[in-house]
Structure 1
Amino acid sequence: MKLPEHFLVLSILFLIILGCGKSTKNNPPGFKEDSAEAYFQQALNAKEPSKMLVHFKEGLRLGTITNDTIEYYLLDGIIYSFNKLKEYDSSMAYSEKMIRQARINQKTYFEALGYYRKAVIHQYLNNYKEQFRNAFKSRNLYLSIGDSLRAGKRSLEMANAQSSMSDYTGSQENATLALSLLQKTKDSSYIGSALNQIGIANRERGFYQDAIANYESGLKYSTSTEDSLSFLNNMALAYRDNGDFSKAIDYLKLINSKNEYADKESHARFIDNLAYTEWLRDSTANVLVPLKSSLEMRLKNNDLKGLTSSYNHLSDYYSNKDRVQAKEYAVMSLEAARKNDSKISELNALENLLGIVEPRESEKYIRRYLHLNDSLKTAELKAKNFFAKIKLDEEQKQKEIDDLQAESFKQQLESEELKNQTIILSLGGLLILVSSGFGFYYLKQRHEKEKIQEIHLTETRISKKIHDELANDVYNVMSGMQEIASNDIMNKLDHIYNRTRNISRENSSIPLGENYLPHLISTISSSLSENIRLILRGEESIN
């Protein structure tokens, strides 16, 4: 059983990263016994989907989905196994689980992978609208993390879904976007697929030369002979549709000479295309054998799409030879188209049948043809509108997210601005408060200083008055009484005189000039009590 490329690459990378521990007996080398990693490798070795599923689930049972990468790989393995078993409801449930847990844990890569897995499931179910929707979400997530390769692949899958619903214009747009993304990664196989899808869109809209140019460009990126044959076949059909039957036949002959490289369905298709193209160039050409040979191969392979084509071609072949046979093949083509649930093939079969049956039989086919034609046009229009709506809805959703982010950023700026204003106002208030305190303190100190100065001036004035008036009066009294007063009285008067003189000196200003030293010595001497003697020496040498 062949693992899909995406799952296989993830598995190999995972094992390279984690396979560096000790070997354990009866367990894959590099992993601990009963570890999630060991079960993951056991699942890969099992190969059968049912056995793989058991190991993947057992590995997942050991832990919960957190930020551990191994658990996402186990989830992906479970989804893959359920898809191989065609149990799509189960694989869908696990895809949803992967998306949900990856979103919670902000694992964008695995969220995108989950949406891709859902797209694949819807492709299996031929639900092309949901295939497109999930591939679109996956692409946007891959773009958000700069993964151009996977974003390009998802764009290509979107183009395929649109092509399946006949929205060829939209298909070309997304295939072109896929091409621009894939060219950055130099992934040859997917670049070729994108060019092939653009070619299909151009051919379906009648731009045959453009389609041929696209196929030729895609052929340069072919990575296998099988792919090259497919490109050459598409080129041949474009030449045939454009009326260049000879060139188409040359290509188809070349392709049929390499049929050993083609799978069974492609082998039958190449034979049928060559025979039918030769008949279109020459309606007398004997191509019945290869047409029937292709039909037998398709019956054996139960290729309903191929059978529809073979029956149509045989009906055309018999149209001018045997109308009964032509009608029988046209009816079988219609039945095969209905079994394959292909409304486009059914419409083509009805158109072919209406050209063969008698007018009296044509009424029931005409009604079905008109109904089907109208429903296909309506479905095509709805598909175009649906794809456009998904794109518009997602763009609107992204715009709302951007607007919310912008509003949040604006509110954050306003909050920061308000915070800054609050800080500035607080600092301003604090500055005013400090300044006011400092001013109050300064004024208070100034007032105290002025008050002290005023007291000093008052004391100086009083001391001067005492010195100039009271001391002089005392001195005059002493002079007048010196002859008549007793020594005791004279001593008392002398004491009073000295006290008044000292009061004057204590409150007088200090001279700072030449008289500084004598005044200082006099002041010190006068401040001493009577029973203390002060002896000074060397004061005259002080500078």
Structure 2
Amino acid sequence: MKPTFIILSFFFFGMVLHLHAQSKVDSLTYYYGVVNQPKSNIQLAKAYNFFTKQKEQSIKRKDIEKAVFHLRLLASIEKKMGLLSDSEISSVEALRLLDGMTNPEMIKENRIGIYNHLGIVYRSLDNFSKALEFYSKSLELVEDEASKATLLNNIGNLYLDKNEYSRALVYFEEAYEKSPRLDLKMKARVLDNLGLAQAKLTLPGALSNLLEALSLRKTIDYIPGVITSYGHLSDYYLDKGDRETAQDYAQKALEQAKQLNNPQYLESTLATLVLLNGTPEVVQYKKLRDSLEKASVRAKDNFEYYRYQFSEQQRLFEESEFKRQKLFLTLILVILVFVAIYVVGRVKHNKEKLLKVYETETRISKKVHDEVANDMYQIMAKLQANNETEEVLDHLEAVYRKTRDISKEHSEIDVEGNFSETLMELLKGFNNDEVRVIVQSISKVDWRHFSNLQKTTIYRVLQELMVNMRKHSRASYVVLKFEQKGKSMAIQYTDNGVGTAIYKKGGLQNTENRMKSIKGSITFESNNDAGFKASIRI
């Protein structure tokens, strides 16, 4: 019993799925027929709701092909209901979705149809140039004769609207040449338009073509076409001065419009009767009202396609701009890399050069100390032992001190230990009975923030300033003030010596070169009899 129940359950479940799928297919077929040949506005409204849901579901499933199909049907319904701006929006949305399709043939087929529909919409909006643009775009893409005939017929209608009957006739004749390959509906449409253009130009065969088109439309029971034929026949007889026959055909058109129950056809046929039966004032009022309505429609048109075109141009521009910026940034990056390599290399070279200078100075100092100073000391010792004159001894002692000072000036610097003490030892060495050296805030400096090269440079620069002071300034006091902010430091040097005009040569030039080598700076300020100042920044 249990297996039988399971089998029956699957059977009934399968039947439900099949019926649901069948119902969906039947609904699609039914509403598709409604769009092509609506019987009433209620039917169109139901079809609109159905295809709106279908479109939303297709977009959720990312089924672009079906979404485009549903949007085109929605655009067609909106056009039939007089919602021109909405129809334009749906068409443009379908155009956007085409960018996500991969099948070239499907893209082309849909683009032809959408361009043609936009041409119809813009014709209804009385925008001749845009309508002609889209009809022409579509005509460039089509290959089959039936589609070419449709587009030629549509372009002919544009020229009919502008009362350019001779130009319209050229397009209708070219379209009619393809009539053997057209279905009856399309053949009747081309024949009817051809007869109308001929009638406006008072050419023979106009009436027979109009009547033949009406007969074909009745044969296939195409009510909208029958209404159009009655309207054109009414125009034909009105132009001939036969108002009675014109009114008769206009009345027949109204009866068919009532049967179709379409507001657009009802309004159009009633307007024709009003013009035929009304006074000149009524006719003038009707024309004025139509003109104002067209102007209002054009004013309300949201120009969705123009926005689409702009967005496409913007997208292409942004892509081009992105590529240009990418190339530009790549070029900048390459330049920066080369500059960085050059700068790093230059800095490295300068550092190596400076280190070599310090190494040379240290080597000279050692050589002076080991060889010259020691030799001088030995000479002095021998002279003392031989009781030579004090004058010679004093002179030799002075030479010894000079060599010792040279050795000290260029000796190796201890930058690994307590650098504040190393500096203080240097500066105190210049403190004597004649000059008082005052050092402020040096103990507050955290030398861990500075490299060995920077410390060595500071030592040599301060040494150069102090030697310069001892040789030239005749100062009685010197003040050095240290001030640190993070990894930056300022040292202010001031003395009360005789001062001098600033000439950057010799020792001063050396200090400036040394500071530049570590990306620091030194500036000088001095006048005769006004002391000397130096500002060091690193």
Report the TM range for the smaller structure's normalisation.
0.3 to 0.5
Q: TM-score w.r.t. structure 1 length?
A: 0.47
Look at both structures and tell me which one has the larger radius of gyration over its CA atoms. 1
Greater helix content? 1
Q: TM-score w.r.t. structure 2 length?
A: 0.48
